[in-house]
Amino acid sequence: MAKLNMVEAINQALAEEMARDPAIIILGEDVGQLGGVFRVTDGLWQKFGPHRVMDTPLAESGIVGVSLGLAVGGFKPVAEIQFDGFVPPALDQIMSHLSRYRTRSRGRFSLPVVIRFPYGAGIHAPEHHSESPEAILAHTPGLKVVIPATPAEAKGLLISALRDPDPVVFMEPKRLYRAIREEVPEGDYAIPLGVARVVREGGQVTVVAWGAMVREALRAAEEVAAEGISAEVIDVRTISPLDDQTIAASVKKTGRVVIVHEAPRTCGLAAEIMARLNELAFLSLAAPPERVTGFDTVVPLLKLEEHYLPDAPRLSRAIRQVVHF
Amino acid sequence: MLTDEFHPLDGGRVALLAPDGSLDHARRPEDLDDAALLRLYDQMVLLRSADQVALSLQRAGRMGTYPPTLGQEATVIGSAAALAPQDWVVPSFRELGAMFLKGVPLRLLYLYWMGSEWGSHFPEGVRVLPVCAPVGTQTLHGVGLAWAAKLKGEAAVTLIYFGDGATSKGDFHEGLNFAGVFQTPSVFVCQNNQFSISVPRRHQTAAATLAQKAVAYGFPGLVVDGNDLVAVYAATREAVARARSGGGPTLIEAQTYRLGPHTTADDPTRYRTEAELAAQAPYDPLLRVRLYLERQGLLTAAEESQRQERHEEFARQEAREAEALISADPDEMFDYTFAQLPAYLQAQKDYLHRVRGDQQEAAGG
């Protein structure tokens, strides 16, 4: 097994699936000859040609809208939106059409479209390059929303997304693109969508995280372990459908929970997870759930970015709070 | 080529069948002989009959809000008639006639406006996309479909409909731009019916025509008299042939006039006068074809009333068939959200079963 970073793992998943399935095509801004601004599609234009890896005009609604037509026409488009901050123009096509077509045609039209985009803060990027819009997408019926946390996870989850018959939004934590290198299984390696994973086992408190925040959660678990606190860390992996069973099972065991996301706090996914835990594990709770989130502010420019982002110290603080309640 | 002869920036406008029924024989498409004209006229009458039946159903509370085609029959029928079986229709929401002509049963089109998603479950092989309410967004779907055909080497053309208001939307421009860049086999038909609900055409753009917008995207645009069946057919036929032979997209602005309300929920007396409406009467798209066909000895008054009765009876029968297809099973809300029902939706479906069970029990007790 080769040790890959997340960019390489995603690239490998795309290359292998494109070789396996001639219906898969890639389209987006700068995805062709350049290989994408983060080089995620590096070499694919050269390998599969300009009819399968296509640079489009600079128009996000256009990229998603034509992907719908391409899917009806028999293709499986992988649409790249260059940055999280440029997703809003495409939301009309995503929310008004892509997510609704199967149900509104009672199954006549199936849209196997994957929308990939790098998301999140922490790389000192310019304005509008640090957003975490997963809650808006998870609130949209008919969409699946997937966020990997490691290179191997990214490969396995993307392969499942590419094989899914429904539209999948695949959000890539750009902060981790090159931060982690790990062994990534070669070939047919699919991780089912909708199943969370326990990354680290523990008995006293459950920490729920996804994407770039999984690394922070593991750091915090390490930090509090020194104080004798045993934290279990769950990587949600698929924001929608949300595997509330795995989360609830862990909380029933630990009785305490901290949920972390870098998206704004109000109506963020942590609120939904708390609601599910009220339904599924209320009587097991020994302390009020805590959430550590981004603020209900605009993500600041790079000089203040570190103050916005949840990190291991904030998480450790919350963990101590619920454990010593 | 009409696009060489009539340039939108030079004030060109294709008009072949005058309101008095006189026909420009020199420019008449060769495949549109009198027999073909009669068949298309019959479709226009059918469309008007289907419209009238829909309006009466709506007034009787048997149909939801409905957007009538009244006045735009030549644009809808003349354009769709120029397609081959392998071509696609991508409608907005006032193209019932085109969807029907392309193979969607009238009962399904009624069923959709009656309020059932099964009305968009078209039979396999029918190359029509569902009605699209968010104005102009379907432009991109049609371009994607055309692009797919081009990538697969299929000779299928995509006919994309929208109204004058759609030309103000971003997706219209993104769609035309993609079509120009990738030279997709797309034909854009703008049903310029002069109104976006109440807002008149002049408030949508300062440009003299809508067709001239094609110039900026690098392909031909053409203004046609949208109440002229022959002109619409001729323009679409030429555009379809160009698209099919790899010549890329065309934008056709069909200048027509909406004689009815935007939808049954609209009250046009608030934004246009009786006099304005009355002035449109001589331009009725059915009238001029009838005048021509009568002059050719192909129509009589007696046949005309029979034709209308026959079509209205057909439409009423289709409406009854549609009502028989209405499903009252709320499980369907959940079952088609994804290919496979996820656990959380199963739980919501089970919940609805429980509360409905309780309510039925309470009602029974």
* A248-280 pLDDT tens trace: 999 999 999 999 999 999 999 999 999 999 999
Q: What is the pLDDT of residue A277?
A: 98
At A117, which CATH number?
3.40.50.970
Q: Is residue A160 part of a domain?
A: yes
pLDDT in tens, A215-233: 999 999 999 999 999 999 9
Q: What is the pLDDT of residue A104?
A: 97
Give the chain B residue whose CA is nearest to the CA of A57. Answer: B178
* Per-residue confidence band for B166, with pLDDT thresholds at 50, 70 and 90: very high
Q: Which of A154, A184, A214 is the last residue of a domain?
A: A184
At residue A1, does pLDDT exceed 90?
no
| Pairing of β B158-163 and β B186-192 | parallel
From the CB of residue B96, how many other CB atoms can be counted at a distance below 10 Å?
25
Residues of A with catalytic roles: 129
Same domain, residue pair A221 and A169: no
Which chain A residues are within 8 Å of B349, Cβ to Cβ?
Answer: none
At residue B365, does pLDDT exceed 60?
no
Residues of B (118-137) whose Cβ lies below 8 Å from A: 118, 120-122, 129-130, 132, 134, 137
Q: Is residue A190 part of a domain?
A: no
Domain that residue A304 falls in: 197-323
Same domain, residue pair A263 and A133: no
From the CB of residue B65, how many other CB atoms can be counted at a distance below 10 Å?
12
Which chain B residues are within 8 Å of A62, Cβ to Cβ?
Answer: 140, 171, 174-175, 177-178
Task: State how far the Cα of A313 lies from the Cα of B56, in Å rounded to an integer.
Answer: 68
pLDDT in tens, B45-102: 999 999 999 999 999 999 999 999 999 999 999 999 999 999 999 999 999 999 999 9
Same domain, residue pair A17 and A149: yes
Same domain, residue pair A138 and A253: no
Same domain, residue pair A176 and A223: no
pTM over 0.95: yes
Same domain, residue pair A230 and A179: no
Task: State how far the Cα of B288 lies from the Cα of B228, in Å rounded to an integer.
Answer: 8
Same domain, residue pair A172 and A287: no
Q: Which of A118, A153, A184 is the last residue of a domain?
A: A184
Same domain, residue pair A40 and A128: yes
Same domain, residue pair A242 and A264: yes
Q: Does A65 touch chain B (CB under 8 A)?
A: yes
Give yes or no for a contact between B42 and B290, defined as CB atoms under 8 angstroms apart: no
* Catalytic option among B271, B307, B310, B316: B271
Give yes or no for a contact between B3 and B217, defined as CB atoms under 8 angstroms apart: no
User: What does the angle CA B31 – CA B32 – CA B37 come to, to the nearest 5 degrees?
Assistant: 150
Residue of A66, A143, A273 to mutate for B, most B C-beta atoms under 10 A: A66
Cβ of A65 within 8 Å of Cβ of B342? The answer is no
Under DSSP, the state recorded for A203 is S
At residue A187, does pLDDT exceed 90?
no
Cβ of B342 within 8 Å of Cβ of A241? The answer is yes
Q: Is residue A7 part of a domain?
A: yes
Give yes or no for a contact between A104 and A150, defined as CB atoms under 8 angstroms apart: no
Give yes or no for a contact between A249 and A257, defined as CB atoms under 8 angstroms apart: no
Of all helices (H) and strands (E), which one includes residue B351?
A: helix B343-364
Cβ of B152 within 8 Å of Cβ of A73? The answer is yes
The beta-carbon neighbor of A110 closest among B142, B339, B342 is B339
Reduce the DSSP state of residue A277 to 3 states and report it.
Answer: helix
Smallest Cα distance from B170 to chain A, Å: 9
Q: Is residue A118 part of a domain?
A: yes
Same domain, residue pair A270 and A247: yes
Smallest Cα distance from B329 to chain A, Å: 13
Residue A30 makes CB contacts below 8 A (sequence gap 6+) with A36, A37, A55, A82
pLDDT in tens, A67-115: 999 999 999 999 999 999 999 999 999 999 999 999 999 999 999 999 9
Smallest Cα distance from B161 to chain A, Å: 15
* Per-residue confidence band for A7, with pLDDT thresholds at 50, 70 and 90: very high
Q: In the beta sheet, which residues pair with residue A207? A: A233, A258
Residue among B174, B177, B138, B136 nearest B158 (CA): B138
Smallest Cα distance from B335 to chain A, Å: 8
Q: Does B115 touch chain A (CB under 8 A)?
A: no
Reduce the DSSP state of residue B206 to 3 states and report it.
Answer: coil
Q: Is residue A191 part of a domain?
A: no
Residue A175 makes CB contacts below 8 A (sequence gap 6+) with A120, A121, A122, A123, A212
Alpha helix segments (H runs only) across B296-342: 301-325, 331-335
User: What does the angle CA B290 – CA B295 – CA B297 come to, to the nearest 5 degrees?
Assistant: 95
Q: What is the pLDDT of residue B363?
A: 86
List C-alpha distances in Å: A217 to A21, A196, A220, A245, B130: 37, 15, 5, 20, 46
At A211, which CATH number?
3.40.50.920
Across chain B, what does the average pLDDT equal?
Answer: 97
Give yes or no for a contact between B24 and B17, defined as CB atoms under 8 angstroms apart: yes
List C-alpha distances in Å: A59 to A86, A93, A173, B171, B175: 9, 12, 22, 9, 10
Give yes or no for a contact between A76 and B148, defined as CB atoms under 8 angstroms apart: no
Q: Is residue A220 part of a domain?
A: yes
Q: What is the pLDDT of residue B360?
A: 87
Q: Which of A184, A214, A246 is the last residue of a domain?
A: A184
Which chain B residues are within 8 Å of A51, Cβ to Cβ?
Answer: 151
Cβ of B141 within 8 Å of Cβ of A62? The answer is no
Smallest Cα distance from A204 to chain B, Å: 28
Task: State how far the Cα of A143 lies from the Cα of B143, in Å rounded to an integer.
Answer: 23
Which chain B residues are within 8 Å of A244, Cβ to Cβ?
Answer: 344
Residues of A (267-306) whose Cβ lies below 8 Å from B: none
Calculate what percentage of chain A has a pLDDT beyond 90.
99
Which chain B residues are within 8 Å of A273, Cβ to Cβ?
Answer: none
The beta-carbon neighbor of A92 closest among B118, B134, B143 is B134
From the CB of residue A276, how many other CB atoms can be counted at a distance below 10 Å?
17
Same domain, residue pair A237 and A145: no
Same domain, residue pair A143 and A223: no
Task: State how far the Cα of B84 lies from the Cα of A193, in Å rounded to an integer.
Answer: 42
Q: Is residue A192 part of a domain?
A: no
Give the chain B residue whose CA is nearest to the CA of A107. Answer: B336
- Give how many domains chain A has, as a whole number: 2
